Amino acid sequence: MKYIDEYRDKDLVNKLVQKIRKKVSREWTIMEICGGQTHSIMKYNLMQLLPSGISLIHGPGCPVCVTPVNLIDQAIALAGLPNVILTSFGDMLRVPGSSTNLLSVKALGGDVRMVYSPLDVLDVAEANPGKEVVFFAVGFETTAPAVAMTVKQALKRKLKNFSVLISHVLVPPAIEALLDSDESRIDGFLAAGHVCAVMGTHEYIPIAEKYRVPIAVTGFEPLDILMGIFACVKMLEQGSHGVVNAYTRSVREEGNPAAQQLLREVFEPTPREWRGIGTIPASGFHLSGEYSEFDALNRFHPVVPPASHPGSCIAGKILTGQKKPEDCSEFGIRCYPEKPLGAPMVSTEGACAAYFRYKRTAVRPI
């Protein structure tokens, strides 16, 4: 497939690896923000190629993983209502809430339906006028414009039976929160390429300046990730910092102005809780103005007990790069994909699931 296969080319990958090896003179710790990048790193086992001086840490770039337990419980409560069709991306269906997940609700008779695009939910609402159709809107700035377009269309079509449970999160505030932490050991970042395709690269410049870190806007294929790492390493070795676009075929500096305009129209920033991390100011979206009538929480007020999650789960430390999955005492023993304790084990991009699937050690589940 064009613009995919070329970036999985063995010779080009090896050439770039040699360049990186020649460049690296000391140890560097680089965090890749995005879960999709983690997935690619694991799937292609890029660590096998990189010099040992480079440590890659998996950041909180999995919007599925960072959706707070409370919000999942609310989605589960809504799905259990007799008149509700709960629509969701596939990623969210297995993520554990306090006691169960959406797939289990479906198994017990809840009307839970998977969609690829939020735009498809409009058709579900129109086809089921007697039911309330709720969309569980998860995702970063990459996904938020699609949800904004859907809500705008719902207003235009005067859909009365459509609403959204919003769980969007924003990347730049999260990076700042990580860098503000005393325990941060991150030398450089690979920024999420597709978030930047929407938002552009300028939001990252003040962060790079304030914390004096290199940030490389990076794609998702193995060659893209290596280009991002190379760009970061070059700056680190030079002692410089700033933002570099290493994904120029898909990302423009200004991003996508039309999509950004739509986000400003439909959403406004709000504080958001990140599972395992805590509340980060202005790090989420909520529906604004005339669009707030589509907020499912305003419409339904689902009652859920206070969220609980296993104390032994160290998801927060993993999501902020302080610990690796294999550092966790539960990893592979009491926490594995069939019985996850926290979201990073369930989501295919979660660091724990990725480690489990691609780097299995001698530890096996009981």
Partner 1 sequence: MCLAVPGQIISIDDSNPEMKMAEVRFGAAIRDISIQWLPDIAVGDYIMAHVGTALSKVDEEDARFTLDALREMGEIDDL
Partner 2 sequence: MKSTGKINLQCPIPKSEYEHILMAHGGGGRMTRNLIEKLFIPALGNEILETGHDGAFLPPMDGELAFTTDSFVVDPIFFPGGNIGDLAINGTVNDLLCCGARPLYISLGFILEEGFLMEELWEIVQTIGTAAGTAGVKIVTGDTKVVEKGKGDKIYINTSGIGKVLPGLDISPLRCSEGDVVIINGNIGDHGIAIMSARQGLELNTQVNSDTRSLNDMMISLFQKQTDIHVLRDPTRGGLASALNEICDSSGTGITLYENMLPINDGVRGACEIMGYDPLYIANEGKILVILPESGAEQALSIMRSYEAGRESRIIGRVTPDRAGILCMETTIGTTRIVDMISGEQLPRIC
Spatial separation of the C-alpha atoms in residues 77 and 64, rounded to whole Å = 18
Site for partner 1 in 46-75 (CB under 8 A): 61, 63
Closest approach of partner 2 to the CB of residue 138, in Å: 8
CB-CB contact of 349 with 62 (8 Å): yes
CB-CB contact of 18 with 225 (8 Å): no
Pick one of 41, 57, 58, 89: the residue that binds partner 1 (CB under 8 A): 89
Q: Which two tokens stand for residue 219?
A: 């794609």
Question: Which range binds partner 2 by CB under 8 A, 45-53, 72-80, 167-175, 202-210?
Answer: 45-53
End-to-end CA distance of the chain: 41
Residue closer to partner 2 (CB basis): 45 or 261: 45
Site for partner 2 in 249-308 (CB under 8 A): none
Closest approach of partner 2 to the CB of residue 115, in Å: 5
Residue pointed to by tokens 């797939």? 103
- Which class for 304: exposed (0-12), middle (13-18), buried (19 or more C-beta within 10 A)? middle
Question: Which range binds partner 2 by CB under 8 A, 21-29, 36-44, 210-218, 234-242?
Answer: 36-44
Name the DSSP class of 313: -
Pick one of 42, 57, 164, 227: the residue that binds partner 1 (CB under 8 A): 227
Residue pointed to by tokens 């160290």? 314
CB atoms within 10 A of CB 8: 15
CB-CB contact of 350 with 63 (8 Å): no
Query: Can residue 337 be called a binding residue for partner 2 (CB under 8 A)?
Result: yes
Q: What is the total count of residues that contact partner 2 (CB under 8 A)?
A: 46
CB atoms within 10 A of CB 293: 14
Query: Can residue 171 be called a binding residue for partner 2 (CB under 8 A)?
Result: no
Q: How far is CA 252 from CA 201, 218, 273, 276, in A?
A: 8, 12, 30, 32
Closest approach of partner 2 to the CB of residue 239, in Å: 31
Site for partner 1 in 139-178 (CB under 8 A): 139-143, 145-146, 149, 153, 156
Residue 44, contacted partner among partner 1, partner 2, none, CB below 5-8 A by kind: partner 2
The most distant pair of C-alpha atoms in the chain lies apart, rounded to whole Å, by: 65
Pick one of 222, 255, 276, 344: the residue that binds partner 2 (CB under 8 A): 222
CB-CB contact of 87 with 147 (8 Å): no
Residue pointed to by tokens 């509700």? 84
φ, ψ (nearest 5 deg) of residue 157: -85, 0
Closest approach of partner 2 to the CB of residue 196, in Å: 16
Query: Can residue 4 be called a binding residue for partner 2 (CB under 8 A)?
Result: yes
Question: Which range binds partner 2 by CB under 8 A, 112-120, 162-170, 197-205, 279-287?
Answer: 112-120
| Cα angle value 321/247/343 (rounded, 5°) | 30
Residues binding partner 1 (CB under 8 A): 1-4, 6, 12, 15-16, 19, 34-37, 39, 61, 63, 89, 116-120, 139-143, 145-146, 149, 153, 156, 192, 194-195, 197-198, 220, 223, 227, 230-231, 234, 248-252, 256, 258-259, 262, 349
Residues binding partner 2 (CB under 8 A): 1, 4, 8-10, 13-14, 35-36, 42-46, 48-49, 62-64, 89-91, 93-94, 103, 113-117, 120, 138-139, 143, 222, 336-338, 347-349, 356-360
